[in-house]
Amino acid sequence: MDMIPLVHASLGEQELAAVEEVFASGWPAGQGPRGKALEAELTARYAVGDAVALSNCGAALHLALLALGVRPGDEVIVADYTFPAPAHAVRYLDAVPVFADVRPDTGTVDPRAVSDLVGPRTVGIIAVDTVGLPADYAELRSIADRHGLFVVEDAACSVGATYQGVQAGALAPVACLSFHGRKGATSGEGGALLTADPALGADARLRSSFGIGSIFDQSKVVGLPIPEFTEIGYNYKLSDIAAAILQVQISRIDALLERRQGVAARYAELLADEELLTLPHVPQDRTHAWQSYMVTLHPGVDRAAVAADLRAQGVGCGHGTWASHLQPVYEAKQQCPVSAELFERNLAIPMHAELSADQVERVAEVLRNALKTHVRPHTT
């Protein structure tokens, strides 16, 4: 029986050829010519003031908050239903993540919950494009403008998505991308910070290289330049090897996204009449990047048993994402009941650009049978 993985990266000969070019160049490290070229492409693609290539999206979130001046004790409102990287980034600065509940239909942060949480110590909002679906940025920007707050877009999952005709990654003054192995464009690991303000980009770029700037640039200076450490920085650089892979991947985004969209459309057809689950909802004013395909199971279905059944039959699956406020590391005071319920009931099924039509049909069939087998008695 062939396995159908939950995720699979679309990497091939073009990416290998790009890596070979980097090997021949003699500069595989970060902030070299391929990294600069990638940053230029991202700046143009998203029509932003600057783009900084980084080792991962968590690094981008950390540097964004540093550049925005977040200080210990400040409060930052973060979307609750997500991989908890945004809250981690807030805690890196000894600031306080305040968790906002989410919409039950989309899983994206609820602007009403955000508005209710604004207090005297609130300095900003981190919105999350949940598993590839952009949040409600018009409402969020309005809240931020009223209270003088910053907005950061966590677009880790949403490369290729849109909101009101604008690309995810350009929906807030600062945005953070991920190029992890399960994303629509990937170099295995990687990320980027996009910003409308070149000064914020310059701050992030300097801090990403230990606070001394580009060694590649300094190597081109005649003489013996000795770098000076002007900031406490981090090693958040993206290697030129990864940057070269990403240049190829970005050129393929539209084609790869079209294949994911086809998989999502077929799932919707095959599962449309299944009463024991709810399909993903995409509002008319936005499009989905389909990093993941998550269904919400009926409360009467035993999710753990369904997952075990799928995996036993070679179909990958996962719990979806996290209700961050429930994680022990935070000991959060907020209650986010919608997020908590989605955390209990969502199930991620295989979603990637390499799925065949036969595999999609097999996933749907195995899932339907597992739902019927593991529904509790008297469930309606």
CA distance 10 to 252: 10
User: In this structure, what token pair is assigned to residue 124?
Assistant: 């900003």
> Same structural domain for residues 318 and 208?
no
Is residue 353 one of the residues assigned to a domain?
yes
> Same structural domain for residues 26 and 124?
yes
| Of the residues 234, 253, 272, the one at which a domain ends | 253
Is residue 168 one of the residues assigned to a domain?
yes
Is residue 8 one of the residues assigned to a domain?
no
> Same structural domain for residues 220 and 100?
yes
| Of the residues 218, 253, 288, the one at which a domain ends | 253
Contact (CB, 8 A) for 268 and 201: no
Q: What are phi and psi of 243, to 5 degrees?
A: -60, -40
Q: How far is CA 285 from CA 108, 110, 129, 281, 365, in A?
A: 14, 16, 14, 12, 31
Find the Cα–Cα–Cα–Cα dihedral 51, 56, 61, 67, rounded to 10°: -50
CA distance 332 to 78: 12
What is the model's pLDDT at position 334? 86
> Same structural domain for residues 228 and 310?
no
Domain count along the chain: 2
> Same structural domain for residues 249 and 355?
no
> Same structural domain for residues 245 and 177?
yes
Three-state secondary structure call for residue 56: coil
What is the model's pLDDT at position 376? 87
CA distance 214 to 195: 19
What is the model's pLDDT at position 221? 80
Residues marked active site are found at 183
What is the model's pLDDT at position 380? 57
User: In this structure, what token pair is assigned to residue 291?
Assistant: 């990093």
Is residue 27 one of the residues assigned to a domain?
yes
Is residue 97 one of the residues assigned to a domain?
yes
What is the model's pLDDT at position 379? 64
Is residue 339 one of the residues assigned to a domain?
yes
What is the model's pLDDT at position 145? 98
Task: List alpha helices for 9-167, DSSP H.
Answer: 13-25, 33-46, 57-67, 85-92, 111-117, 137-147
> Same structural domain for residues 222 and 368?
no
Contact (CB, 8 A) for 177 and 164: no
> Same structural domain for residues 108 and 166?
yes
> Same structural domain for residues 242 and 310?
no
Mean pLDDT, the chain cut into blocks of 10 residues (380 residues total): 93 97 95 96 98 98 98 98 98 98 98 98 98 98 98 98 98 98 96 98 96 83 84 95 98 97 98 98 98 98 98 97 97 93 98 98 98 85
> Same structural domain for residues 329 and 218?
no
CA nearest to 77, candidates 129, 131, 116: 116
Q: How far is CA 248 from CA 41, 205, 292, in A?
A: 11, 23, 22
Q: What is the CATH number of the domain that holds 151?
A: 3.40.640.10
CA nearest to 22, candidates 341, 241, 176: 241
Q: What is the CATH number of the domain that holds 365?
A: 3.90.1150.10
> Same structural domain for residues 39 and 178?
yes
Strands 162-163, 166-167: pairing is: antiparallel
What is the model's pLDDT at position 12? 97
CA distance 241 to 291: 23
Is residue 3 one of the residues assigned to a domain?
no
CA nearest to 64, candidates 179, 187, 199: 199
Q: What are phi and psi of 286, to 5 degrees?
A: -150, 165
Is residue 357 one of the residues assigned to a domain?
yes
> Same structural domain for residues 261 and 237?
no
| Of the residues 220, 253, 286, the one at which a domain ends | 253
Which residue segment(s) compose the domain that 289 sits in?
Answer: 254-373
